[in-house]
Structure 1
Amino acid sequence: TPPPPLGVAPSATPPPGAAPTGRSACAPPPASAAPAASPSSSQAPPASWVPTSLPRSSAAATASLGSTISTRARQALLDRAGVFVVEGDVNDGPLLLKLFDVVPFTHVMHLAAQAGVRYAMTNPSSYVHSNVAGLVSVLEVAKSADPQPAVVWASSSSVYGLNSHVPFSEVDRTDRPASLYAATKKAGEEIAHVYNHIYGLAITGLRFFTVYGPWGRPDMAYFFFTRDILRSKPISIFEGPDHATVARCLAALDNAGKSTGSGGKKRGSAPLRVYNLGNTSPVAVSHLVSILEQLLKVKAVRNVVKMPRNGDVQFTHANISLAQRELGYHPTTDLNTGLKKFVRWYLEYYPTSSSKKGSRGGSSSAI
């Protein structure tokens, strides 16, 4: 059983000097739970026991964004869902073996990753460690488990890279990544093919596009745009060659979350599948900012700049017909409604943000 979305994302860019550790930044388990570091077969946790891997640097990164994560609020959500969180590294093979020895997992949802295209230029090894080695570690323990679980893992729309054929379809070429992050996710899809072919693992990769909403990643543009608009800090909006618009295919977190669970359903023997989870209507980043201005009732200080050569792409656009047909995926939340939910949550979760209007500093950048 996957945990509800957490307030700290595994992909938040660490501040200067911090290095991802692959350890969990989650709250400790309830006092009544078995110790996280020493699971034993004599005291099996509930079936919703969830090992997770979130870099500790994520917490520091979130703090550097001018926010304080409420451990108590996150823990309350987990407690209500009956989820037991184990702090650990997905590359810790003995720990993973112990977890599978204690609990006969039927499904694995592997969402831990080092995400974001730009940080890869600063700390490339963290992407290989988390996205390549981490996936292999999970598949290694899953291949020999009894029962053998269905595995759902987070691929990315970034695998489409420099593909110019739109909308992006699962059958399109994905051999021209634009960033190291994209390359590690492409490598993950090839690794999944090997484990399906040799060991018969049922593996589903979900190519998430720009997922947004409450409890989202603090390093995402809509998130730090909101923060900086409230503080009257300048935001940078990228534009492509010849003033071309930069656009993103956005997927509301509640819509994407439902289909993440659906991806674990087995159909036939040992399927190997990938699905796009996005939307059918890309949104210009400038339009996203306009909606945030309306919801926050604050005018953004905009700086329009040329898109740097840092691994970002000018546009994303998903063909979601396969996910609609096989997963029942229907992105029913429109952008205005989704951002309204996010803004309401943000103002409740970070109540001090709105009181910092007028503070000045470096501008945030877009994607």
Structure 2
Amino acid sequence: MRILVTGAAGFIGYHVCEYFLREGAEVVGIDNLNDYYDVALKQARLERLALYDSFIFRKIDMANGGDVLALFQEFSFTHVINLAAQAGVRHSITHPEDYVRSNLDGFFYILEGCRNSKELKHLVFASSSSVYGLNTLMPYSVRHNVDHPISLYAASKKSNELMAHTYSYLYGIPSTGLRFFTVYGPWGRPDMAIFLFVDKILRGDPIDVFNHGKMRRDFTYIDDIVEGVARVTKKPATPNPDWNGRSPDPASSPAPFKIFNIGNNNSVSLEDFIATIEECLGMQAQKNYLPLQPGDVPETYADIDDLFNHVGFRPHTDLTLGVSNFVSWFREYYGK
């Protein structure tokens, strides 16, 4: 396997690279190393990946199409895993232009590279639970309508699914989109809830608790996400022979295209999540209760039956174990 992983210096990208490197695959990672959050953390991830002889890193901004297409000409990729994106729902409210450049323009050039690749077996790309938007039917199913996003971040991820399907249909590119649900774990992003909570509690600062604590999330541990990505990557999407245009299945196609949720299949209240962090830290949080923020949804909860039926895997990491692992990493990395 010769795999291109975009967003290789990112949280999920780093872990996915390491998984395949341990399996002996050749991995080419790209990242633009932007300053959305601490670049030193991204560099630290890359330093760990550089310990593998079969890892090659290129600093590339996917929105620079010439650089992306040149990369595809230099390497004959068998698999492409697109994890690069401008992340963050709230950031998309204040900086929408970042999402057009990274998530739309950047993904377009990845698709163009795939279209001209002769050895490509599978394109896997990150989508998000955010695409479910105003849908309140739980658990979220890949067969639900996702036409009502409430942030540009969510809209960009829905757009990625539509763009990938189009290229899959026109050019026969096997493509699979994965809707991630609130990923957490060691080497996580500093803008994520668990990172912010642990950091502030250790500092003795109050934490912001949105929607007055009445939020629920399907928290999914990073190892489970990586296992799901790996299994899906190794099983390219195929056409659905039973697909019917009169009653179209949103999760499949007559083209080699599929969509899956990857979540823990367990919706946890924000209050319980904070209590778990407090237990692992042995400290109590000071809470600053705030209203629901623009772009946020009150609850997420993943139906993962399709994922299990496809690759025989269900995320299973217990929340207490996952939070404990993150706290241990945080204390060691930051010396706290």
**Cα distance in 2, alignment partners of residues 52 and 70 from structure 1:** 12
Q: 1:266 aligns with which of 207, 220, 236?
A: 236
Query: Runs ≥4 in structure 1, deviation > 6 angstroms?
Result: 2-7
- The aligned residue for residue 34 of structure 2 is 56
Is 2:266 the counterpart of 1:278?
Answer: no
Contact 2:4 2:79 in 1 (8 A): no
CA displacement at 1:96 relative to structure 2: 2.3
Contact 1:5 1:216 in 2 (8 A): no
Contact 2:265 2:303 in 1 (8 A): yes
Which one is further off, 325-334 or 107-116?
325-334
CA displacement at 1:83 relative to structure 2: 1.3
Q: Which amino acid aligns with 1:201?
A: I
**Cα distance in 2, alignment partners of residues 207 and 328 from structure 1:** 17
Question: Secondary structure at 1:205's aligned position in 2?
Answer: strand
Question: Secondary structure at 2:139's aligned position in 1?
Answer: coil
Q: 1:344 aligns with which of 318, 323, 328?
A: 328
**Cα distance in 2, alignment partners of residues 82 and 99 from structure 1:** 17
- The aligned residue for residue 27 of structure 1 is none
- The aligned residue for residue 287 of structure 1 is 272
**Cα distance in 1, alignment partners of residues 42 and 147 from structure 2:** 41
1:311-330 Cα offsets, whole Å, 9 max, x none, are 00100010011111112222
Is 2:74 the counterpart of 1:121?
Answer: no
Q: 2:307 aligns with which of 312, 316, 323?
A: 323
Is 2:298 the counterpart of 1:314?
Answer: yes
- The aligned residue for residue 20 of structure 1 is none
Alignment of 1:36-115 (within 5 A): 48-58=26-36, 61-62=37-38, 69=41, 71=43, 74-80=46-52, 82-115=54-87
- The aligned residue for residue 249 of structure 1 is 218
CA displacement at 1:70 relative to structure 2: 7.7
Tell me how many residue pairs correspond in the alignment: 308
Report % sequence identity: 37
**Cα distance in 1, alignment partners of residues 68 and 29 from structure 2:** 8
Higher helix share: 2
Q: Which amino acid aligns with 2:236?
A: K
**Structure 1 portions without partners, runs of 5+:** 12-45, 355-367
Q: 2:210 aligns with which of 234, 238, 254?
A: 238
Question: Secondary structure at 1:306's aligned position in 2?
Answer: coil
Contact 1:4 1:78 in 2 (8 A): no
CA displacement at 1:119 relative to structure 2: 0.7
**Cα distance in 2, alignment partners of residues 151 and 232 from structure 1:** 45
Distance 1:277 1:73, change over 3 A: closer
Whichever of the two has the greater Rg, that structure is 1
Is 2:142 the counterpart of 1:170?
Answer: yes
Aligned Cα RMSD in Å? 2.4
Q: Which amino acid aligns with 1:311?
A: G
Distance 1:327 1:96, change over 3 A: same
Which one is further off, 47-56 or 178-187?
47-56
1:198-238 Cα offsets, whole Å, 9 max, x none, are 11111110000100001112111011100000001001112
Question: Secondary structure at 1:216's aligned position in 2?
Answer: coil
Which one is further off, 224-233 or 262-271?
262-271
Contact 2:140 2:303 in 1 (8 A): yes
Q: Which amino acid aligns with 2:304?
A: I
Question: Secondary structure at 1:165's aligned position in 2?
Answer: coil
**Cα distance in 2, alignment partners of residues 123 and 296 from structure 1:** 34
1:105-137 Cα offsets, whole Å, 9 max, x none, are 110001000011111111101101111111111
**Cα distance in 1, alignment partners of residues 219 and 53 from structure 2:** 27
| TM value normalised by structure 2 | 0.85
- The aligned residue for residue 298 of structure 1 is 283
**Structure 2 portions without partners, runs of 5+:** 14-23, 240-254
**Cα distance in 1, alignment partners of residues 193 and 334 from structure 2:** 17
- The aligned residue for residue 103 of structure 2 is 131
1:12-40 Cα offsets, whole Å, 9 max, x none, are xxxxxxxxxxxxxxxxxxxxxxxxxxxxx
Question: Secondary structure at 1:168's aligned position in 2?
Answer: coil
